[in-house]
Amino acid sequence: MSQKDINKEIKDYIQRHPDRQFSVPKLAKIFNVKTKNYRQIKNILRELESQGIIIRHKRTYSSPSKRKAQIGTFDASALAKNYPFGFIDAENGDVKVYEENCLNAYNHDIVEFIVTKEAKRGPVGKIVKVIERKNSTLVGSAFKQDGHVFFVSDNPKFDTEVELLEVGDLTKITGKKVVVEVTDWGNRYQQVLPSGKIIEVLGALDDPNVDYLAIVTQYGLPTNFPEEVILEVEALPDTISKDEISRRKDFRNLVTFTIDPKTAKDFDDALSFEKMDNGTFKLYVHIADVSHYVKVPSALFGDALERGTSIYLLQNVIPMLPFKLSNELCSLQPDVDRLTMTVIIDYDAEFKALGSSVYPSVIRSDQRLSYEQVDVLFDQGDNEEIKPEVRNIIIEMRSLAQNLTQTRYARGSLDFDLPDSEFVFDEQGSPVDILRTHQTESHLFIEEFMLAANEFVAKLIARKCSAAIFRIHEPPNGEKITEFARTIKAYGFTFNFTHKDISTAIKQFLQSITDEKQHRVYDYLLLRSLMKAKYSYRNIGHFGLALKSYTHFTSPIRRFPDLVVHHLIKQYVFEWTSKRFSLNEIKTFAGHSSDMEVRAMTAERSLGELKKNRFMRENIGKVFDALIVNFNKRNIYVELDSFPIEGYIPLAAIGRDYFEFDPRHYVVVGKRSKQRFVLCQKLKVKVKRIIHDIEFEIVYE
């Protein structure tokens, strides 16, 4: 019998007996294969397993048809941290998959799986087939060992090395960042590595500009616009016609201004404010009318949908819209007429909202301000750089913003004290400093008015539209918030809640923290226990903002959902077009926009981590003060005091004792000495090694 025939016979035989499991000796006996030829049977079974035709149960094999197969996305995060399992993100929740049952799936692959056991802490499964690969092209570096050349991905979630074939001249890739295409996915169970070939050399590892190229390649980010998009943009008129102005509200006589970061190039929101003779107030939130230029259907609209969002990669921006739109026609620059959508909110003398409306409009900004300029005004009471008429309005608006903040917190909106990282670069693009920045009053000033406009528009489209897109934030998962409560109670904090008053418990807990280092630890632990906000066609409210309806309306230059909302207003409120988005279209917009938001955030975070690693390589040997911010079974996690940089200390590397993580009391304890490591504890550390993450070691004085 030929190899091809016996392969088919074994496959057919196993599939004809779905309720039976077969060992290699059993199959050899059935097909009269001698003991010395067992390898032939093993190779056939390995091939059938890799194709998902059969599944392995330790030393036996069977057809997967006896259990209902499901589809999900493989998450290798735990495997990448040396845990013996991964997870499948499936429709009905996470399914744990132990390493020997992962087949040759890697992070984000779409897989077919079966549930093999319903365990106390959730279902356990087995991957039977990889349906779609998500990591065929990888970015990283190569090294030589024992006569072979191997590749290590920059993505820590790609949890294995790749053997490189057809390398050629090794000197051309030594010390270089390379792009590899995986051609064979190997076999986890038999410890056969994936293999591949180099398809591009990006540049030298010590070149800081290569970091940007690596991230763009790794995440498949679009750096160029298609030709049909460029042609559409070039055809757009540079001026606004009189007919277009005539059908809009004309607010060019209002004192109007923008407030943005100093480095901003596009300005999609502006403000005006009026005090009326009867003591009431009118707030005007003007948002760039991108929908006027990005029609439905058009190549521009389709490309904006595909991109989903602008991506901010430190010194570089990958915009959602071409330059002529994002930085010119739609940018609310001073002293030029611009088309907008304006939300007007009326307030009484005590700043209680009386009513709201929205109009297609035209404005003319009087001044472009930075956050820093407004903070000077708030801190010192004056700033000569701000025009007097603009300054007076901002001072009047300050009381409204403060009142909106108080009202928002009173209804249960959550307030996290989460600093951002701000990088300082030299002329070559290498980081020379990393600052920990906090939100200032000017940021909160703008945020309150944008939140007010978004909330009004959400209520409007919920009432007017048959299908609409919302920004939702679901209440926290009961198990995660219970685990968080258990953790902080171990440190003496009060956190009593029922599912009806979780937001109250969270708010009271956050208000009880006054120490900055405690905020650095507990705010992040709490945030990780909450759900992530996303876009949806379902209007189920926003837990974090304590709102029943919320959407994104105020940033259509950089967010696709905002552009959709502008079109919805024109479709349903003003009926400027007979086009109506269907429910299926809205579902597609919401799902894809959420995915693209995650991609952008992951890419931005990954580039930040590359820069932090590069920065710390220049500080090897230095001793730093650090704060313990978290634990798991293997590591203590610390954040440096002087820089917003996090790393880990392996428990096994501490020495002096055998240390274990005690999840009940959320501490690390020495088995013999009973020495304890606790959250918020100060340590002195120095860098031991940097691969994907930064490994520190404790410095004892």
Q: What angle do CA 442, 323, 137 make, to 5 degrees?
A: 100
Give start and end residues of each alpha helix (H) in 549-582: 560-568
pTM for the structure as a whole:
0.87
**Alpha-carbon span 139 to 215, nearest angstrom:** 8
Q: Supply the pLDDT for residue 362.
A: 98
pLDDT bracket for residue 319 (50, 70, 90) = very high
Domain boundaries, the chain: 1-66, 137-205, 227-405+417-468+547-606, 475-530, 619-698
pLDDT digits (tens, 9 = 90+) for 157-168: 888 899 999 888
If you average pLDDT over residues 628-655, what whole number do you get? Answer: 94
Q: With 80 as the cut, is the pLDDT of residue 117 above it?
A: no
Q: Helices 441-464 and 388-410: crossing angle, nearest 10°?
A: 70
Q: With 70 as the cut, is the pLDDT of residue 183 above it?
A: yes
Q: DSSP string covering 251-315, please?
A: -TTS--EEEE-TT-----EEEEEEE-TTS-EEEEEEEE-GGGTS-SSSHHHHHHHHH-B-EEETT
For residue 401, report the phi and psi dihedrals to the nearest 5 degrees. -60, -45
Q: Helices 583-617 and 210-218: crossing angle, nearest 10°?
A: 150
Residues 6 or more apart whose Cβ sits within 8 Å of residue 592: 305, 306, 308
Q: Supply the pLDDT for residue 274.
A: 96
CB 491 within 8 A of CB 526: no
Per cent of the chain over pLDDT 90 is 70
Instruction: Report residue 168 as tokens.
Output: 């050629």
Please indicate whether the domains covering 137-205 and 619-698 agree at the CATH topology level. Answer: yes
Q: Supply the pLDDT for residue 52.
A: 65
pLDDT digits (tens, 9 = 90+) for 17-29: 776 788 888 887 7
pLDDT digits (tens, 9 = 90+) for 248-278: 999 999 999 999 998 887 899 999 999 999 9
User: Which one has a higher pLDDT value, 632 or 471?
Assistant: 471
Q: Sign of dihedral through CA atoms 41, 47, 51, 56?
A: positive
Q: Supply the pLDDT for residue 186.
A: 87
If you average pLDDT over residues 394-419, what whole number do you get? Answer: 92
pLDDT digits (tens, 9 = 90+) for 548-573: 999 999 999 999 999 999 999 999 99
Q: Supply the pLDDT for residue 377.
A: 97
End-to-end CA distance of the chain: 73
If you average pLDDT over residues 491-520, what whole number do you get? Answer: 84
Structurally, what CATH architecture does the domain formed by 137-205 represent? Answer: Beta Barrel (2.40)
Pairing of strands 60-62, 55-57: antiparallel
**Alpha-carbon span 364 to 253, nearest angstrom:** 8
Pick the CATH number of 619-698 from 3.40.50.700, 3.40.50.2300, 3.30.70.1070, 2.40.50.140: 2.40.50.140
**Sheet strands side by side (includes 281-288):** 249-250, 353-364, 337-347, 281-288, 269-275, 257-260, 367-370
631-634 own/partner pairs: CB under 8 Å, 24+ apart: 631/661, 631/666, 631/667, 631/668, 631/677, 631/679, 632/81, 632/661, 633/661, 634/81, 634/82, 634/661
pLDDT digits (tens, 9 = 90+) for 207-246: 999 999 999 999 999 999 999 999 999 999 999 999 999 9
Q: Which CATH class is domain 1-66?
A: mainly alpha
Q: With 60 as the cut, is the pLDDT of residue 286 above it?
A: yes
Q: Which of 59-73, 133-147, 297-311, 440-454 has the lowest mean pLDDT?
A: 59-73
Average pLDDT, the chain: 91
pLDDT bracket for residue 426 (50, 70, 90) = very high
If you average pLDDT over residues 376-399, what whole number do you get? Answer: 96
Q: Supply the pLDDT for residue 592.
A: 97
Q: Supply the pLDDT for residue 504.
A: 85
User: Which one has a higher pLDDT value, 201 or 28?
Assistant: 201
Q: Supply the pLDDT for residue 148.
A: 87
